[in-house]
Structure 1
Amino acid sequence: MDSSTAVRVIPLRVGRTKVPYGQFYGGLDGYSGLDLATDKSAFIWVPIHAYLIEHPSEGPVLLDTGICPAQAEDHAGYYGGTVLEYFTDDDEYDLPADQRIEAQLALHGRRPEDVSRVIVTHFHEDHIGSLPLFPHAEVVLGRAEYEARDSLILGLVPLAYKRSVAGVTRWRPVDFAGPEVGGFSGSHDLFGDGSVVLLPTPGHSPGSTSALVSLGERRALLTGDALYTVRHLAVDDVRQMQTGADDLFIDSVRRMQWLHRLLPDLVVLPAHDDTPYGELLVRDLLAHDGRLSQEAFAELKEYEATTFDAAYRLNPARRPRYVADPAGGTLGSVA
């Protein structure tokens, strides 16, 4: 596929979320769902990204939708009467007007009604909050996620908050019955042309789905929260908190490692990557209208080479470290 007809992936910055540092990096320390509810000592801000996939014949497809204004501006009201009102903080989300999904789409000449399909990587609220803006769209997701939509996380929190999914009328659960791709035993080719291939990456949620997208000479793996950042590929050295079975999550990361090793042209696009890798990748895709420049690609590969060894063990210099607020507050940063 030449560059003029290639699929493009355009990052959409749809706010940010304030998360406990342990949620992002405490998985190896036994950080649990109970910690998530009670730990108020060390927070970080991380970006939220959705992705506009522009296909030359199928038109615009959205991967995730980010949050809606009510989640950020009236958190208690939006979640009032449910356990989510108490499980998270009122200032969990920040969404400036120019980062609302409709404003981000408008920057690229699109409106919500132009989007014919929405791929939902998983049902967590920072990925589906603006789903009600797309009642006309076909919503594509892994069947395991779809079938678990009414189940409870930790016996308390619904996997899919009903207010966020109430307007969906065109669900399209997929079974990953297509051929093997790298370490994945099944796949789903969304358009039948190999340009957008969905892969099962369960663990973070029951049916978490990632998308392998061909960008002309490059490929991108859009992971949702199957990886929080690119350095989470080093699953033996840095791991995010899990609410489900650890072994299922680790297995998915091992398969992503295999795919990453198999495809030297691959870059990794999580939803919340606040590392220099993630920042460079998002910035370059935006600067080049959803295409990746050779210069940025070379820099990304150099970052990978200095972050992991061949077994995906993390360079000690790249281990995350919490930097506390020098003023004594609870909001720090990551070094």
Structure 2
Amino acid sequence: MIRITAVETGKARMKTAQRTGRDDRGPVGLKLDIFRDRNWVEPLPILCYLIEHPEGRFLVDTGDTWRNSVPGYLPGWNPFYKQVSIKVAPHEEIGPRLLAQGIDPADISTVILTHFHHDHTGGLDHFPHSRIIGPRDNYAVSTGLRGMMMGCLPQRWPVWLEPELVAMDGPPIGPFPASHPITRDGRILLVPTPGHVAGHVAVVVRDDDVTYFLAGDATYSQDNLLAEKTDGVTNDPATALATLRTIKQFAAHERTVLLPAHDPLAPARLRAREPMR
């Protein structure tokens, strides 16, 4: 028996040009569109996903932290942080959210990061005793000044953080050219979904009669994926588009519930086990 629960850790607001990039724009043009845009989307959830599996409790991403509100926490020299608004109350962090469900964060056996952007790693402090898994290729572009320029906050990661960095070294899964198993029974695995950022991965969870696709930021919404609309963050629009098409191809052959990290409709789809169509 596998159970998945969506856990919201605050809200994020972004420009419309960030959520949906223009088809005719390259990486630089997409960024300029975000800075020029005066329109903001509605507050979107920052979602983590708890997977309860016979081999343990697994958490996909850790959300963000209330410390975003503290002056100086976000680097003021990076103007991109002014194009996004993160609001997390202390009790909305992933640790208190789990405790409210009767789960001690220390009982999370494994944390899986789809990538190292700050709104996916902001809750790492709550898991000093857990195994932390992250994609090797994404970690390579997430550290140092390069990482700080690309939406990561490596200077804010816990001092004890030594993630287990994994490669996509397993067999193909449907249209995905490779994978990486997480559980011994093969029901939880990673697949490569680059585009939003280099080295991004998604988590595939295969239950008896349905497959859950925990997409991270491979897409911001199911509607955008179905319409093959990439986001405005990507530095590689062609790769991002190819990833969307690969996910669609996967879902065409396997009953798949799509669960991105910022889709307000994802929790309802999860409860209804509503597959992509």
TM-score, normalisation: structure 1: 0.75
Name 1:44's counterpart in structure 2. 42
Contact 2:205 2:212 in 1 (8 A): yes
2:234 to 236, 240, 243: 243
Name 1:170's counterpart in structure 2. 162
Name 1:28's counterpart in structure 2. 23
After superposition, the C-alpha distances for 1:157-213 in whole angstroms (9 at most, x for unaligned) are 145312332434332111111111011111111012111011010111111010111
Contact 2:148 2:154 in 1 (8 A): no
2:152 to 160, 168, 179: 160
1:272 to 243, 259, 262: 262
Contact 2:58 2:111 in 1 (8 A): yes
The change in CA–CA distance for 1:112 and 1:167 in structure 2 (over 3 A counts) is farther
Is there any run of 5+ residues in structure 2 with no aligned partner, and where? none
Q: How does 1:223-238 map to 2 (within 5 A)?
A: 223-236=215-228, 238=229
Name 1:83's counterpart in structure 2. 77
Q: 1:152 and 1:252 mapped to 2: Cα distance?
A: 27
2:269 paired with 1:281 = yes
The higher radius of gyration belongs to: 1
Aligned pairs, how many? Answer: 274
Is there any run of 5+ residues in structure 1 with no aligned partner, and where? 1-5, 285-295, 306-335
2:103 paired with 1:113 = no
Contact 1:83 1:157 in 2 (8 A): no
Q: Report the CA distance between 1:151 and its aligned residue.
A: 6.2
Q: How does 1:86-165 map to 2 (within 5 A)?
A: 86-89=79-82, 92-150=85-143, 157-165=149-157
Contact 1:21 1:44 in 2 (8 A): no
Q: Secondary structure at the match of 1:93?
A: strand
Q: Secondary structure at the match of 2:23?
A: helix
The change in CA–CA distance for 1:168 and 1:159 in structure 2 (over 3 A counts) is farther
| Greater than 6 Å deviation, 4+ residue runs | none
Contact 2:220 2:263 in 1 (8 A): yes
After superposition, the C-alpha distances for 1:36-60 in whole angstroms (9 at most, x for unaligned) are 345344343111100111122x321
Q: 2:267 and 2:183 mapped to 1: Cα distance?
A: 29
The change in CA–CA distance for 1:104 and 1:33 in structure 2 (over 3 A counts) is same
2:250 paired with 1:259 = yes
After superposition, the C-alpha distances for 1:100-121 in whole angstroms (9 at most, x for unaligned) are 2112111332122222321111
Q: 1:91 and 1:245 mapped to 2: Cα distance?
A: 20
Q: 2:247 and 2:15 mapped to 1: Cα distance?
A: 25
Q: How does 1:2-81 map to 2 (within 5 A)?
A: 6-28=1-23, 30=25, 32-56=30-54, 58-71=55-68, 73-74=69-70, 76-80=71-75
Name 1:221's counterpart in structure 2. 213
Name 1:319's counterpart in structure 2. none
Q: 1:174 and 1:166 mapped to 2: Cα distance?
A: 20
The change in CA–CA distance for 1:170 and 1:136 in structure 2 (over 3 A counts) is farther
After superposition, the C-alpha distances for 1:72-112 in whole angstroms (9 at most, x for unaligned) are x32x32124x534x432398112234422112111332122
Q: 1:270 and 1:130 mapped to 2: Cα distance?
A: 18
Q: 1:96 and 1:127 mapped to 2: Cα distance?
A: 16
Q: Secondary structure at the match of 1:89?
A: helix
Contact 2:182 2:188 in 1 (8 A): yes
Q: Secondary structure at the match of 2:67?
A: helix
Name 1:197's counterpart in structure 2. 189
Q: Report the CA distance between 1:246 and its aligned residue.
A: 1.2
The change in CA–CA distance for 1:88 and 1:170 in structure 2 (over 3 A counts) is closer
Name 1:325's counterpart in structure 2. none
Q: 1:165 and 1:156 mapped to 2: Cα distance?
A: 12
Q: Secondary structure at the match of 1:244?
A: coil
The change in CA–CA distance for 1:221 and 1:78 in structure 2 (over 3 A counts) is same
Q: Secondary structure at the match of 1:240?
A: coil
Q: Report the CA distance between 1:133 and its aligned residue.
A: 2.1
Contact 1:137 1:170 in 2 (8 A): no
